[in-house]
Amino acid sequence: MRLSTKSRYAVTAMLDLALNGTQGPVTLADISENQSISLSYLEQLFAALRSKGLVRGVRGPGGGYYLGREADTITVADIICAVDEWVEYTRSSAYRGSKDAQPQTTRALWDDLSEQIFDFLDDITLSSLVVRGAERATASVPETAKTLSLGLRGEAA
């Protein structure tokens, strides 16, 4: 399991697609500007996302990216696995019998933890994140703010 800023870039970019992709594709240039990530780094991330079918690219002017599936079928685990691959103990070698048999035990316990984390993240979909965010925003908006909700899209600082 691995979770880094790279994962964050990928997840927030996918959230951008989920939020803005309803009316036409979203360009990487937009995402790059919105989230201040370099364009070609985004290209690299999206190459990985595309190869896993998580996004769908449309070329030419007016083109951009759509989500590859419905937002409620794309999980955070999917995205992280696509760009940051789940590092599962690649160093398998050291297994000669050490004095007490702890390596197997701690390894099994870690594997269990890793699986718990995966299952947790595999239950969180893009749409569930968006819904939670919307709920939170409407719930916590003070009544004064509701009157002037113009450029507001469901969030506060």
Partner DNA sequence: GTAAAAACCAAGTAAATCCGTTGGTTACCT
Partner DNA sequence: AGGTAACCAACGGATTTACTTGGTTTTTAC
List the interface residues with its own copies, window 35-94 (CB under 8 A).
35-36, 76, 87, 89, 91, 93-94
Phi then psi dihedrals of residue 150, to 5 deg: -105, -70
Quick one: 39 or 131, whose CB is closer to DNA? 39
Out of 60, 97, 142, 151, name the contact with DNA by CB under 7 A.
60
Is 124 one of the binding residues for its own copies (CB under 8 A)? yes
The continuous run of DSSP H or E covering 29 comes out as helix 28-35
CB of 148 to its own copies, least distance (A): 14
CA neighbor of 117 nearest in space, from 72, 74, 76, 84: 76
The continuous run of DSSP H or E covering 65 comes out as strand 64-67
What's the CA gap between 96 and 133, in Å, rounded? Answer: 50
Is 58 one of the binding residues for DNA (CB under 7 A)? yes
CA neighbor of 12 nearest in space, from 57, 42, 39: 42
What's the CA gap between 16 and 96, in Å, rounded? Answer: 49
Is 9 one of the binding residues for DNA (CB under 7 A)? yes
Which residues partner with 66 through β-bridges?
Answer: 56
Residues that bind its own copies (CB under 8 A): 1-5, 8, 11-12, 15-16, 19-20, 33-36, 76, 87, 89, 91, 93-94, 98-113, 116-117, 120-121, 124, 129-130, 132-133, 136-137, 151-157
Residues that bind DNA (CB under 7 A): 2, 4-6, 9, 25-29, 36-41, 43-44, 46-47, 50, 57-65, 84
